[in-house]
Amino acid sequence: MGQRSGRQKRSKKLEPVLSETMMTEAEVRNDKEEVKEMKTKDQRLTSVFGVADLKNGAIGLYNIGQSCCLNSVLQVFLMNTHFTGILRRITVPPYPAQQKNDVPYQMLLLLEEMQCGKQKAVSPIALACCLSVYRVKLFVQHDAAHLFLTLWNLIKRQMKKPELVEELNDLYTICVQEHLACQKCSFETKRNSSMLTLPLPLLDSNSHMLKTLEACLQYFFLPEELTDHNMCFCEQCGRKTPFLQSMKLVHLPQTLTIHLKRFSFEKSAYIHKLSHYLPFSEDLDFNAILTENQCQADDKEKAAWQYELFAVVAHSGSTSCGHYCAYIRSLTECKWYCFNDSEVCKVSWDDVKCTYGHSKLHWGETAYLLIYMKKHPQ
C-alpha cells in the first residue's frame, strides 16, 4: 500500500471553523425579550402578509437566541420532501423521556407543528434542548456546514429502522474514488470513500480567487502532485517517492450539498471570511464540468448528474458576529422563499443571486451552503 502522507486529504482544502461565542446571561435575557417583541411584531405581520402566502408549509422558526444557523439548516431539511418522506416513517420512542432526547422524533414534532398551518412561525426550543444533550450548544452561533453534518449524523444514528438509514444514506451520500499513483513506477492504490458535502475551496494553490462555482468544482477534482515533504512511501520502490493524488466521482445523490469554504485561516492567525463574488447557476450539469478522467461511473449514473438549485444557506456579517438565513425553492410550488428566522417571504431568483457576494462588502450576504436536487431522480 502507498502510505499516505501525514497531512489532511488535500492541502488546498482548509477546514471551516467558526469561533463559538457564548452569550452572557444578560444577552440571553435580552434575546428573550426580543423574541417576545418579535412575536407581537409577527402577529402584526401576519395580517400584512396574508395567511394565503404561507399556506404551503413555508413557516418561520423563532430565533431563540443565536439560533439563526440552526433555523436555516432545519428549514433546508424540512422543506426537502425527500427527507420528510423518510422522517415521517421513523419509529416513535415509547417513553416520554426517550422522546425528549430523540432528534428525529423532535424534528418530526417540529415539522408537524409547522404544517398544522395555524401559525406564521413556531419555536424550535424543544428540538434545540434535545440537541443540547448531544453537545450542540444553545445560544451559540454555529457554523452551518458543521451543524448540517452534526444533525445528519445524529438523525442517522437515532433512526432505528435499517431501511430508513439506507434511504437517508442514498439521499445525501456522495461517492468518490481516491487514487494515489507513484510517479517513479507503476504502483497505484485506489480507495472508495464517501462524503456528505463537497467542501469546495474558493482559492487556488496560489491564493487566487476562483471565478465561478464550476471553476471551484473543477479545481476540487484536479489531480494534485505530492512532492517534497508530501511524498508517500511506495512499497514497490521501497522509499518515499512523488505521488499523484486524484479523485474520481463515482456517484452523486438526490440531494447534493456543496460547502463553499468561505471561512479561511490563510495569511493570518485569525479566521477571516472570503466575501468575493462567486456566481452559481440554477442548473448544474456535472458532465459539462468534469472530464472523462475525473469520473468513474457508467452512462446511466452520469445521465442523472443534472441538477437544479434547491436551497442556499447564506451568511452575512463577519466570522465572529454574523447571521444566517436560507433561500429555499419550495418543491411543491417551485417558488423561492427566504427564511429569515420567523420572517418568511417570497423572493425572486434575482434576490437569491444577491448571495453571490462582493469583495468590498465584507458584511454582505454570501452563499455558504448550496443544496442542489437531481432533476430526474433514478
Q: To the nearest whole angstrom, how small is the minimum distance from the Cβ of residue 242 to Zn ion? A: 9
Kindly name the residue from 68, 216, 325, 338 that is annotated as catalytic: 68
Q: To the nearest whole angstrom, how small is the minimum distance from the Cβ of residue 9 to Zn ion? A: 21
Q: To the nearest whole angstrom, how small is the minimum distance from the Cβ of residue 243 to Zn ion? A: 8
Query: Between vectors from CA 124 to CA 85 and to CA 363, what angle results, nearest 5°?
Result: 105
Q: Give the count of residues interacting with Zn ion (CB under 5 A).
A: 8
For residues 188 and 283, which CB has a smaller minimum distance to Zn ion in the complex?
A: 188
Cell output for 228:
517534497
Q: To the nearest whole angstrom, how small is the minimum distance from the Cβ of residue 11 to Zn ion? A: 21
Kindly name the residue from 142, 259, 276, 323 that is annotated as catalytic: 323
Helix and strand element counts for the chain (H, E): 12, 18
DSSP string computed for 52-121: GGGTTS--EE---SS-HHHHHHHHHHHT-HHHHHHHTTPPPPSSHHHHHT-HHHHHHHHHHHHHT-S-SE
For residues 162 and 238, which CB has a smaller minimum distance to Zn ion in the complex?
A: 238
For residues 90 and 234, which CB has a smaller minimum distance to Zn ion in the complex?
A: 234
Phi, psi of 155 (to 5 degrees): -60, -45
Which distant-in-sequence residues (6+ apart) come within 8 Å of 180 by Cβ? Answer: 2, 4, 188, 189, 191, 226, 232, 243, 244, 245
Q: To the nearest whole angstrom, how small is the minimum distance from the Cβ of residue 238 to Zn ion? A: 8
Query: Between vectors from CA 69 to CA 129 and to CA 117, what angle results, nearest 5°?
Result: 70
**172 to 201: interface string for Zn ion, x by CB under 5 A:** ----------x-xx-x--------------
Tally of residues, the chain: 378
Q: To the nearest whole angstrom, how small is the minimum distance from the Cβ of residue 241 to Zn ion? A: 5
Instruction: Decide if 116 is catalytic.
Output: no
For residues 185 and 303, which CB has a smaller minimum distance to Zn ion in the complex?
A: 185
The span from the CA of 158 to the CA of 135, in Å, is 15
Instruction: Decide if 130 is catalytic.
Output: no
Regarding 232 and contact with Zn ion (CB under 5 A), the answer is no
The span from the CA of 324 to the CA of 141, in Å, is 9
For residues 107 and 234, which CB has a smaller minimum distance to Zn ion in the complex?
A: 234
Query: Between vectors from CA 128 to CA 158 and to CA 147, what angle results, nearest 5°?
Result: 70
The span from the CA of 310 to the CA of 282, in Å, is 8
For residues 117 and 223, which CB has a smaller minimum distance to Zn ion in the complex?
A: 223
Q: Which of residues 233-272 bind Zn ion (CB under 5 A)?
A: 234, 236-237, 241
DSSP string computed for 119-147: -SEE--HHHHHHHHTTT--TTBPPPHHHH
Kindly list the residues in this chain that would bind Zn ion in the complex (CB under 5 A): 182, 184-185, 187, 234, 236-237, 241
Catalytic residues: 68, 323
